[in-house]
Structure 1
């Protein structure tokens, strides 16, 4: 059987993790990497994530059976235009990992017109770390991997099945949506919340100058509520501009909600205010806990600890003995009890559950989730 070749353009966290998933399920496939950062390619090769450091798209694309663009949306659109003019294999399959889909799928019509198959893709998982060095074979495990074919046809469905076969080693949960539905859903559940979180943080800039103590108080719930505001500004500029129409509608609706609340306050309408929060509570309480979706899930364990030197190393030492990895540690400064509260963040629910059991067996600390 002829050896298969996969070309990954953009070898960072996502591209590297996809490469590992493909190698897991298709070990004889040659993975070729392309990236503007030569250091990423060298590191990826040394780590065994890719097999070959590619030269240029023009040289490597004609060899590939599968081409995956792991780049910002605008950059992917430019590369797709280049790809349409190259002598590719007759049965090559092309996909991407962009966070918006309508504009990419529209650009991909350039490929379908010349007989090149394309399926849009969006793996909905990430990490607080970045770069190919952070790539993990299980990054997408049980996370949703959205696919948006160029049309609803038997041929497009077959292309989706083929792409899922290539990506089976990621252990992701595949879901098929139209490009427009994808952008509307992610616009509401991911893009709008990122805008609101960033706006809340920006609102504090001048406020904390006037009220310096607010910075200490923001270390509690406000910090947790606005975690996503720490996202890459370059990436989010790209996402917002490529989902412009959807977001303008959502922002108009959000603006109206804020205007309504201002009216309730001015009129002291306690019934309307109560309904506003009651409706939100019912909707929020009905949501599944710790399911990977449009926003990154945070797997936090809170540990009540006594305040004495070495306590943090003691707790992390217990976890290290059981080979449990912690991705973030924080001491909560805002508290009402005598003990301190240590907030441990894990990559997934499985690690959190193991940590809870570990500390239960090895210590007397109270552990709980929120």
Structure 2
């Protein structure tokens, strides 16, 4: 007997939406419809085989959908939820989102969606330094945590149904309440973006008086503040959506910083060492090869002889094995980091292949641990 076709609608065919769409297409009984406000990303998604059909008309996109993924920025997710309340939808449709904040979205969803629609908050905790549907991959969410935050009273069978569907992404689906999610993600993802940007702005101010700040910051400083290059408008909306937790975390951070400053002012060597040792112990205990709230750095650092042709030899070796790289950098400032050449790979798998190959050819290769 022929299996019934399931229609999945992805609203916002970008990196995350496109990656979810590609994962759904693993099942031949699933039809994926894409929606975007512009035709260009839909045309790209169709050309790349990300979706089966695409439309810029929201009602057309959702009319036959059994599951709807709202894969848009946080503020657009809320606006789309309001639009859906007046749309013709399937009687048992599940609506979910991919926003990195959950409490506000879940609360507003419960207020505006019709009774026959089930909303389940979602947050796939994976990303990439690239954006757009061109960067989408059916492996982006593999082994990443995918958090579901159903509202109280949500039917268990609907959560199970969405969980089963998400198994196609090969992510690790977990459940927690929306407020707990926002606290945890605020600490491990949202606030680090604030810290990185604040540190960059501080150094930028110093650089106005002494331009050596920018010159020497090109090494490790650039690495540890990489997330400061994230989309400013997106992070404005995230912080406003998660303001309660961000304010509390920021106050806790300010107190922790005051304690460190006090240790330095008092010249307390044991206290300063304990500060660094405690951080080191916890950080070294974190899982190394798990996908978390921040996208990993797929970088290798390589010692190379300072003579012509060496970089070309390395790229030729990698290219001959069809190992994809996305960036090369000669490192002039390398305090606390080994390797004169940094190579950024397309994925962790590519990085591991590259490391094995370069070690075979007797290069000294290091990871940033």
Q: Which residue of 1 aligns with 2:227?
A: 228
| Secondary structure in 2 matching 1:192 | helix
Match of 1:56 in 2: 57
Provide, for residues 188-242 of structure 1, a one-character-per-residue CA deviation record: whole Å limited to 9, x for no partner: 0011111001100111112122221222211211111111111111111111110
| Aligned equivalent of 2:17, options 15, 18, 21 | 15
| Structure 2: distance between partners of 1:168 and 1:79 | 25
Question: Aligned partners of 1:39 and 1:198: how far apart in 2?
Answer: 32
**More moved, 212-221 vs 186-195:** 212-221
2:4 and 2:29 in contact (8 A); partners too: no
1:299 Cα deviation from its structure 2 partner? 2.3
Describe how 1:133-144 pairs up with structure 2 within 5 A.
133-144=134-145
**Shift >4 Å, 4+ stretches:** none
Q: Secondary structure at the match of 1:210?
A: coil
* Alpha-carbon contact 2:219-2:335 (below 8 Å) kept: no
Contact 1:111 1:117 in 2 (8 A): no
Q: Cα 1:306–1:110, aligned 2, differ >3 Å: closer, same or farther?
A: same
Secondary structure at the counterpart of residue 139 of structure 1: coil
The 5-angstrom pairing of residues 192-211 of structure 1 reads 192-211=191-210
* Residue aligning to 2:252: 253
Residue 2 of structure 1 deviates from its aligned partner by 4.1
Is the contact between residue 307 and residue 340 of structure 1 (CA under 8 Å) also seen in structure 2? Answer: no
Q: Tell me how far 1:111 sits from its aligned partner.
A: 5.3
The CA deviation string for residues 141-160 of structure 1, in whole angstroms up to 9 with x for no partner, is: 1111111111266x2x3222
Separation of aligned partners in 2, 1:96 and 1:254 = 30
Q: For residues 308-356 of structure 1, what are the alpha-carbon distances to aligned partners after superposition, in whole Å with 9 as ceiling and x for unaligned?
A: 223222111111111111122221112489x961111224432222111
Correspondence for 1:66: 67
Distance in 2 (alpha carbons) for counterparts of 1:340 and 1:284: 22
Q: Which moved more, 1:237-246 or 1:51-60?
A: 51-60
Number of equivalences: 365
Do the aligned partners of 2:129 and 2:295 also contact (CA within 8 Å) in 1?
no
2:75 is aligned with 1:77: no
CA contact (8 A) 1:290 1:298 kept: no
Deviation at 1:46, TM superposition (A): 1.4
Q: For residues 322 and 246 of structure 1, do their structure 2 counterparts lie closer, same or farther at Cα, with a shift above 3 Å needed?
A: same
SS in 2 for 1:50: coil
Q: Aligned in 2, Cα 1:16/1:270: closer, same or farther, shift over 3 Å?
A: same
Aligned to 1:170: 169
SS of 2:141 mapped into structure 1: coil
Contact 1:306/1:340 (8 A) holds in 2:
no
The normalised TM-score by structure 1 is: 0.93
Q: Secondary structure at the match of 2:51?
A: coil
- 3-state SS in 2 of match to 1:41: helix
Contact 2:101 / 2:238 at 8 angstroms: preserved in 1? yes
The CA deviation string for residues 73-117 of structure 1, in whole angstroms up to 9 with x for no partner, is 111111111212223111111100001000111111135651211
Q: Check the 8 A contact 2:54/2:61 in 1, yes or no.
A: no
Q: Mean alpha-carbon deviation: is it higher for 264-273 or for 349-358?
A: 264-273
Name stretches of at least 5 consecutive residues in structure 2 with no aligned partner. Answer: none
Q: 2:82–2:113: 8 Å Cα contact kept in structure 1?
A: no
Give the Cα separation in 2 of the matches to 1:9 and 1:147.
18
| Aligned equivalents of 1:264, 1:42: Cα separation in 2 | 59
Structure-1 residue corresponding to 2:34:
33
Measure the CA separation in 1 of the matches of 2:267 and 2:62: 64
Do residues 367 (structure 1) and 365 (structure 2) align? yes
Q: Are residue 295 (structure 1) and residue 294 (structure 2) matched?
A: yes
> Per the alignment, do residues 85 and 301 of structure 1 end up closer, same or farther by CA in structure 2, a change over 3 Å counting?
same
Per-residue CA deviation, residues 243-276 of structure 1 (Å, 9 max, x unaligned), is 0000010011111122222322333233332222
- So what's the TM-score if we normalise by structure 2? 0.93
Aligned residue for 2:149, secondary structure, equals strand
